Amino acid sequence: MGPTDKEIKDAVKEKYGGLARGQSSSCCGPSKSCGCSTGSNMVDAAKLYAGEDLSGIPSEAAGFSLGCGNPLALAGIKEGETVLDLGSGGGLDCFLAAKKVGPAGKVIGLDMTPEMVKLARENAQKMKAANVEFRLGEMEHMPVDDASVDLIISNCVINLSPDKDTVFKETFRVLRPGGRLSISDMVWLAPLPEAVKSSLDEWAGCVAGALQETEYLDKIKAAGFADVSSQRSTFDVGEAAEGVEIGGMKASELAKKIASVRVQAVKPRRRTHRPDSGF
């Protein structure tokens, strides 16, 4: 039997709480190896966010990306918009979005790990970012009003939820009609070994909870979204995976089964009745 939802959430909070306190250094990717930005230097974040203006963002925030892509790249953020970031971590995506929405706009970062929210609030103070707020809460029941958000972004977070259907229903609820979803996340390209799927370490490492790409997109459509599209890039675990075994498999082999996707979708302007979306 696999881990319970509570065990998964506790493992995720423990891992990301430790990262926020600087007591742990691994991030998303097969455990003991790390294919995304390590959070330990600016170079990795600069690579992940090539084309974004990182100026004015304190190095503590810019060097603390635990994401697996850049959800802002295709989001088309406009001045004055309200943006919600699911699983905001140290706040980097929120700060980049805040620069784009300007003083007339607003960015809300949501994270369930208290240490992450504390870190992000400290970073916001250093940046004097007045149009960003960080809320403690779970994306399965967001502390956000109905139809109040123009754009939802998220970077390597939804795979961590044991209840993704509810996350996408909540996402649909809080977006305004015509609102957009722009997320980066991990998906798998081939079935994962059972030992990996039931490992709490791999859940917290963004691997065990990842879905196959088609299943991921189908869940978004089932929540009521239209114009669902995705772009895939392979996941490079690099030299850190050398000699590492996970669930009886080489980490470098496991990494070939995983990819990072950038997904776009729109909440239709006209309501269509969907029994499973609550609308």
Of 52 and 138, CB closest to ligand SAM: 138
CB 97 within 8 A of CB 52: no
For residue 136, the minimal CB distance to ligand SAM (Å) is 9
The span from the CA of 17 to the CA of 106, in Å, is 26
User: Which of 12, 196 has the CB closer to ligand SAM?
Assistant: 12
Residue of the chain from 29, 89, 105, 247 that contacts ligand SAM (CB under 6 A): 89
Among 116, 119, 151, 174, binds ligand SAM (CB under 6 A): 116
Q: Which of 11, 16, 127, 174 binds ligand SAM (CB under 6 A)?
A: 16
By CB under 6 A, name the one of 57, 157, 200, 237 that touches ligand SAM.
157
178 class by beta-carbon count within 10 Å (0-12 exposed, 13-18 middle, 19+ buried): exposed
Q: Which is nearer to ligand SAM, 12 or 251 (CB)?
A: 12
Residue 112 interacting with ligand SAM (CB under 6 A): yes
In the chain, the amino acid numbered 7 is: E
Among 11, 28, 101, 196, binds ligand SAM (CB under 6 A): 28
Shortest separation between residue 153's beta carbon and ligand SAM, angstroms:
9
| Residues contacting residue 85 through CB under 8 Å, at least 6 positions apart | 93, 94, 97, 107, 108, 109, 110, 152, 153, 154, 155
Q: Which helix (H) or strand (E) holds 109?
A: strand 106-111
Q: Mark the segment that binds ligand SAM (CB under 6 A) among 137-145, 193-201, 239-247, 262-270.
A: 137-145
Neighbouring residues of 168: CB distance < 8 A, sequence distance ≥ 6: 219, 220, 222, 223, 225
Residues in 160-219 at the binding interface with ligand SAM, rule: CB under 6 A: 160-161, 206
Report 91-110 residues binding ligand SAM (CB under 6 A): 92-93, 110
Query: How many angstroms separate the CA atoms of 217 and 204, rounded?
Result: 22
Rounded to a whole number of angstroms, the CA Rg of the chain reads 18
What is the identity of the amino acid at 23?
Q
Q: How far is the CB of 270 from ligand SAM (least distance, A)?
A: 30
Q: How far is the CB of 20 from ligand SAM (least distance, A)?
A: 7
Choice from 45, 61, 62, 66 touching ligand SAM (CB under 6 A): 66
Query: What track of x and - describes contact with ligand SAM for positions 231 through 260 (by CB under 6 A)?
Result: ------------------------------
Q: What is the DSSP letter of 66?
A: -
Asked if 220 interacts with ligand SAM (CB under 6 A), we say no
Helix 114-127 to helix 92-101 angle, to the nearest 10 degrees? Answer: 40
Spatial neighbors of 264 by CB under 8 A, at least 6 apart, are 74, 180, 181, 182, 227, 228, 229, 230
138 makes contact with ligand SAM (CB under 6 A)? yes
Residues that bind ligand SAM (CB under 6 A): 12, 16, 28, 65-67, 87-90, 92-93, 110-113, 116, 138-140, 155-157, 160-161, 206
